[in-house]
């Protein structure tokens, strides 16, 4: 039983760290880049002003990719800690 408890602790620790990493990325692409949109507009990407691009496409694409990666990473944590569902 004691091993089960510590497995759970490791699992929750890693789950929490993964959550924090993803929320930091989320915070940057939700708020920080848009706060500096005027400065970013001095640069271009694919001929787009970068400030506009990030709000119209860039942040959105980051969120989509991030969620697929998150899903894979969390599955790995579940499996390695023996906390995955049996299917």
Partner 1 sequence: MAMFGDFSSKGGFIQNLPKIYGIYTGGFILFILLMALLERFGLSADTIGLLFVGFTIAIYALIGWLSRTMQLDAYYVAGRQVPPVFNGMATAADWMSGASFVAMAGGIYVGGHPYLAFVVGWTGGYVLVATLMAPYLRKFGCYTVPDFIGTRYGGNLARFCAVVVLVVASFTYVTAQINATGTIAARALLIPFEVGVWLGLAGILLCSMLGGMRAVTWTQVAQYIVLIIAYLVPIVWMSNKQGFGVIPHLVYGDAVQRIAELEQLHQVGVLKPAQAVAGMSALVVKHNAPADTFVANWRFVTLVACMMIGTASLPHILMRYFTTPSVRAARSSVAWSLFFIFLLYFSAPALATFTKLQILDPNLATSLIGKSVADVNAITWVQKWSSVGFVKVLDANGDGIVQINEFFIRADVVVLATPEIAGLPYVISGLVAAGGMAAAMSTADGLLLAIANALSHDLYYKMIDPKADTRRRLIVARVLLIAIGAAGALVASMRLTGILGAVAWAFCFAMSGLFFPLVLGVWWKRANRAGAIAGMVLGLATGTWYLYMVKWGGMKPWWGMDDLRFGMVGATVSLVAMVVVSLLTPAPDKETQDMVDEIRIPKGETYLGSTH
Residues near partner 1 (CB under 8 A) are 8, 11-12, 15, 18-19, 22-23, 26, 29-31, 34-35, 37-38, 41, 44-49, 51-53, 55-57, 59-61, 63-64, 66-68, 70-71, 74-75, 78, 82-87
Rounded to a whole number of angstroms, the minimum distance from the CB of residue 1 to partner 1 is 13
What's the CA gap between 26 and 53, in Å, rounded?
Answer: 17
Tell me the closest approach of the beta carbon of residue 3 to partner 1, in angstroms. 14
Helix (H) or strand (E) holding 35, with range, is: helix 33-35
- Partnered with residue 49 across adjacent β-strands are 44
Distance CA 51, CA 14 (A): 34
């Amino acid at each position: 039983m004691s091993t089960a408890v510590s497995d759970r602790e490791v699992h929750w620790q890693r789950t929490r760290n993964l959550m924090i990493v993803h929320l930091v990325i989320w915070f940057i692409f939700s708020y920080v880049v848009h706060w500096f949109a005027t400065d970013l507009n001095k640069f271009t990407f694919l001929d787009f002003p970068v400030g506009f691009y990030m709000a119209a496409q860039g942040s959105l694409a980051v969120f989509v990719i991030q969620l697929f990666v998150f899903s894979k990473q969390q599955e790995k944590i579940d499996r390695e800690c023996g906390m995955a569902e049996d299917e």
